[in-house]
Structure formats: structure tokens, C-alpha cells
Amino acid sequence: MQFSGGKRRKLKLAGDQRNACYPHSLQFYLQPPSENISLTEFETLAIDRLKLLKAVENLGVSYLKTTDQYRTKLEAEIRKLKFSFRENLEDEYEPRRRDHISHFILRLAYCQSEELRRWFIQQEMDLLRFRFSILPKDKIQSFLKDSHLQFEAVSTFL
């Protein structure tokens, strides 16, 4: 991580470049972020991600994860914290960027012990499962293809 004095300038990307950075609301977090961020933003992103993961944990205890109540409350929490969760929203770059950077911040923070790692992985898996479940079918195919996952579609049986 690099620290530099002076005024910070936000990186401005054109529409196509912004979409290329985060083509889907769902991510596997394969590449760590490479941009410089301020210490204030670092702290804010870490706190917001932790709030989100705590909400995932609390809602998972209070509600069945497949119910509409769970989905509605989790969507509200994600929206409140300004993270990405749905495809086809107008400007998804900033929420997806926040999601990407904050994941890696907490990944670093929660690697200190096996107990912390397990908690972090469980909440991230639940969040991924939720995000995947609300993806439209065409976006699922696109996400799987872009993620280079080898699969063969199975027809549904009646």
C-alpha cells in the first residue's frame, strides 16, 4: 500500500472501463484491488462490510434463508450500506468497487485465527448464496462463463 501526501484525486473511468472492472454484481474476488485509497475510506469500507456481514449473520439466525422476509431485510441492509447486489442498476461501479475493496480489507483482518476465518468465510458464503439466488437466469450464464467455470447445463425434469 502506498501513502502519499497532498490532495487525493478520484480515478475517473469512462463507462466501458468502469463496466470492465466489475462486469457483474457477483464477484469471486480473485484479484485484490490495486488502487490507492485514503485511510478514512479504508476505515469506512471496513466498518460497512463488517456491518453487512453481521447483518447476514443475524438475519440468518432470525429467519430461514430461503424466505421472502430474509431476502427483503438483507436487500434493505445491502442497499442501506451502498453495496452491490442487483444487476441492471444505472451506476453500479461505485457499489461494486466498495464491495470489492471492503471484502479484501476484512479478508486481511479476519485471517488472524481459525475461528475468525471460519466466521468470515461463512458470512461471505451466505452473502454469495443470496446474491446468486437473485441473479436473473441470463446473468447467471454470463457470470459463470466470465468466471471460466466449466459446466454443462442440465435440462429440468418434470
Contacts of 50 (CB under 8 A, 6+ apart): 106
Cα 47 from Cα 35, distance rounded (Å):
19
pLDDT band per the 50, 70, 90 thresholds, residue 3: very low
Per-residue pLDDT of 40-92, as tens digits, reads: 999 999 999 999 999 999 999 999 988 999 999 999 998 888 887 665 555 67
Residue 18: per-residue pLDDT: 52
Q: 65 burial class (0-12, 13-18, 19+ CB within 10 angstroms)?
A: middle
Other Cβ atoms less than 10 A from the Cβ of 147: the count is: 12
Domains of the chain, each with CATH number or no CATH: 37-146 (1.20.930.80)
Prediction pTM value: 0.77
